[in-house]
Every structure is written in structure tokens, then in C-alpha cells.
Amino acid sequence: MKKTTVVGLAIATLAACMSAWAQPQSDALAPAGAQAATGAAAPTGRQADRALRRKVYSAIGKDKSINAGNISVRAKSGAVTLTGTVADPAQAGKVEEIAKGVPGVTSVTNKLTVQKSLGGM
């Protein structure tokens, strides 16, 4: 009976240590509800990159003359990379200008290519 209790306590202690270890330091040190009281924190890291990516996609999608279905956007700390295909060279420049106009974008790398027509000419 004592063996079972000791093993159970060891497992419970290990589980508690693992869950505390997995917590980010800033959350572990902050009192409960502190973030809710101060309001939503600004997104950082991957969250900020995803949010910026969505903003760029949205801005490109608002221009009906551009088919954004073949355009990929990557964002990393404000730097945006555009890849994919567009119908003509003018659209590649237009997409780049739209991306540069999005708040939070610090630089744009344009790797868009012009899609060749199916007829070969």
C-alpha cells in the first residue's frame, strides 16, 4: 500500500514539474488575470508575422484587377516576400506597391513571375 502511495506521489510531482516547466517565463511570473486587466498585448513573433501576412493578402485582394490566387505572401519581422505568378509584368509591380503600402511592412522582396499563356504565344 505504501509503495502505491509513493509511486502516485512521484508521478503527481513529475506531472506538476512538467506542466510548470512548459509554461513561458513571462506567464509563469505574472499574476493570474494580469494580462486581461492590462488589455490585449500586441502580437509578437509568429502571431505578428501571420497578422501582417493577412493584412497584405487583404490589401492585394481588394484590387479586383489582380488574381491573388497564385500569389503567396511570407512575412518575417516586417519583411515581406511575394512569390507566385501574375498575368503580366505590370501586375507584379502593382502587387509590390500594394504590399509596400500596408502598415507594418518594412521591406518587400518581389519574386513574382509572369505566367506564360497556354497558347505558347
Q: What is the pLDDT of residues 64-78, one digit of tens each?
A: 988 888 999 999 999
* Residue boundaries of the structural domains of the chain: 2-38, 46-114
Fold of 46-114: Histidine-containing Protein; Chain: A; (3.30.1340)
Helix (H) or strand (E) holding 83: strand 79-86
**Residue 39 in 3-state DSSP?**
coil
pTM over 0.75: no
Contacts of 100 (CB under 8 A, 6+ apart): 108
Top-confidence residue, 24 or 112: 112
